Amino acid sequence: MKCVKVLNRKSGAGMMAAVMMSALLTGSSVPVFAASGIDMSTDYPGVTVKAGDTVTFPLDFASLDGEGHDIALSASSLPEEWTGYFKGNNNQVTRVHISGTSDQEGSTSGSSLATYSLTIPQGAEEGVYTVELEADAGAGDTDKLELEIAVNQEEVGQSNFTSEYPEQQGASGTVFSFDTTIVNNRGTGQSYALSAQAPEGWQVTFTPSGESTNVASLDIDAGASQGVTVKVTPPETVEKGDYTISCAAISANDSLSADLTVSITGTYDVSLSTQDERLSCDAYAKKGTDITLTITNNGNVDLTNLNLTSSAPSEWDVAFSESTIDTLEAGATKEVTATITPGENVITGDYVTSLKVSNDQTSSSADFRVTVKTSTTWGIAAIAIVIVLILGLAVIFKKYGRR
């Protein structure tokens, strides 16, 4: 696990015993070994990082001679502009203490008594670098640990911020919803601050998947991911075109970004009214009454396949001079005549008839009050009948009244 070690300490107690037994059997003299008291190691002495990262190495220490030791810690070799420090119990340290042991192998291990935190400068070029740490127990009893650091532009297992469908399109007034995912591939949990750069007047919110509360930051465990719904609301007056919303998730170790694209296909808006904006008329049974409708395209794109429909009382008839408008240019107005004919048995009074213009993108409707009146011809006929009846009664009374 270590690239550099003092040779006479690698043998250990077992090697010493084997050498002594061999010497006794061969009759040769027994060599004298230098004292070997300490061992410093880390589980992963070789890592891959990118420029600007900070990486932490947990350090284990062992006593190989059964004695306790106070060990001085230092970095004996460090690339230029690289920085690092030893840390223990939430403090920066320069020394650690390990106790002796009485087990058969003569060693005991402290579980990560200290860590070494190493910061790679932003300008570090790609390549493999060596950092050498030294543990010194005094009296010439030392141990060295060589760390191999590979610097790459793209770190293996790099965190990321992605969207399943980063490009969407719709008309003005549409609220766009993007499903995104933040993946923390770091070895430690990260707190990500969320932000977005959008055109003026646009609103952007972040909501964790499955929740309803908007957030400005997220805590994500090491190796975990979090779904985030990004809701984008354009202003009502937005013009046709493509717009980019740059989203960011930034932590102490990551600067993640995701670009979302919204394509506004246009503003769809149509209105239905009359020239004088009057929404009432008089009508008679079985007699058609014409109403001139004005249909206006208030949007910024042409409207196609506009259909005119109606909703009237039972047995009434509504007919349009044009029931379909193939194309109505942006800003243009078209006049269409609607003919309303009440039913034969309609009673005098007020009625409501609804007229509507619509296509797949927009619609507009208006309710007309139709006042049904009695026909003048029938009124004259009724008066004539009354007069005839009165004259008839007068003649009868004159002829037979004196008898």
Predicted pLDDT of residue 381:
63
* Distance between CA atoms of residues 149 and 52, nearest Å: 13
Predicted pLDDT of residue 242:
95
pTM for the model stands at 0.47
Among 103-107, 176-180, 194-198, 294-298, the least confident range = 103-107
pLDDT greater than 90 at residue 60:
yes
SS3 per-residue string spanning the chain = CCCCCCHHHHCHHHHHHHHHHHHHHHCCCCCCCCCCCEEEECCCCEEEECCCCEEEEEEEEEECCCCCEEEEEEEEECCCCCEEEEEECCEEECEEEECCCCCCCCCEEEEEEEEEEEECCCCCCCEEEEEEEEEECCCCCEEEEEEEEEECCCCCCCCEEEECCCEEEECCCCCEEEEEEEECCCCCCEEEEEEEECCCCCEEEEEECCCCCCCCEEEECCCCEEEEEEEEECCCCCCCEEEEEEEEEECCCCEEEEEEEEEECCCCCEEEEECCCCCEEEEECCECEEEEEEEEECCCCCEEEEEEEEECCCCCEEEECCCEEEEECCCCEEEEEEEEECCCCCCCEEEEEEEEEECCCCEEEEEEEEEEECCHHHHHHHHHHHHHHHHHHHHHHHHHCCC
pLDDT greater than 80 at residue 380:
no
pLDDT greater than 80 at residue 29:
no
The 10s digit of each residue's pLDDT in 351-363 is 999 999 999 889 9
Predicted pLDDT of residue 66:
86
Tally the C-alpha atoms within 13 A of residue 55's C-alpha that lie toward its C-beta. Answer: 21
Q: How confident is the model at residue 300 (pLDDT cuts 50, 70, 90)?
A: confident
Output the CA torsion sign for 274, 280, 286, 289: negative
* Distance between CA atoms of residues 298 and 185, nearest Å: 51
The 10s digit of each residue's pLDDT in 223-274 is 899 999 999 999 988 888 999 999 999 998 889 999 999 999 888 899 999 9
Share of the chain above pLDDT 70, in %: 84
Among 12-26, 52-66, 238-252, 326-340, the least confident range = 12-26
Report the mean per-residue pLDDT for the chain: 85
The 10s digit of each residue's pLDDT in 84-137 is 999 998 899 999 999 876 443 333 444 578 999 999 999 899 999 999 999 999
